Structure 1
Amino acid sequence: MAGITPPDLQKALSGVEYPADSEQLRKVAENNHASKEITDRISHLGKKEFQNPAEVSKAVFTRPRPRRATCWKRRRRRGRRRTWRRGNRRAR
């Protein structure tokens, strides 16, 4: 399968009464004979309650942003590299 498309998700979730949580959405998708990929994605959404189909689509199709390093040493090294690339060498 090439992946999930928004029309596939809409077909799988036809007949849902909102607000609904991810467990209710998964049950409806299984009753509508949705693919395993769709039911897996829905079950991994967490225990959030969705108010409308747009919220479900947004949760399914957006990827979480990776967290940036918060370690002060990494930030310091990253800054050091940037200054070195510009040609400003620092004494170590």
Structure 2
Amino acid sequence: MASTKKLSLPPQGLNALFGVQDQNIKYLETLLDVSIGARGNELLIDGDIRDIETVEQILGDFSDLFAEGQTFSDKELRDAFKQIA
């Protein structure tokens, strides 16, 4: 069942999480068959409710890690996304 969810993320690490030209988010969209639209730190996620919940968990967890000062390369993020998804 298709659904839409609005998600707000803290600004810390948001650029790194999204990646250059949003490559990390585009990769996550492909992995989970969702559509993610961003405006500032607010996201609209469209897709199956289970996939949306997975995206929400992934982005929330990594946002928390960035807020704690941890850093990840784009490759590390994409590898983690692949393992979790």
Does TM-score exceed 0.5, indicating one fold? Answer: no
Structure with the bigger percentage of strand: 2
Report which of the two structures shows the higher radius of gyration computed on alpha carbons.
1
Higher share of residues assigned helix: 2
Q: Which has the higher contact order (CA 8 A, sep 6+)?
A: 2
Please give the TM-score of this superposition, normalised by the length of structure 2: 0.32
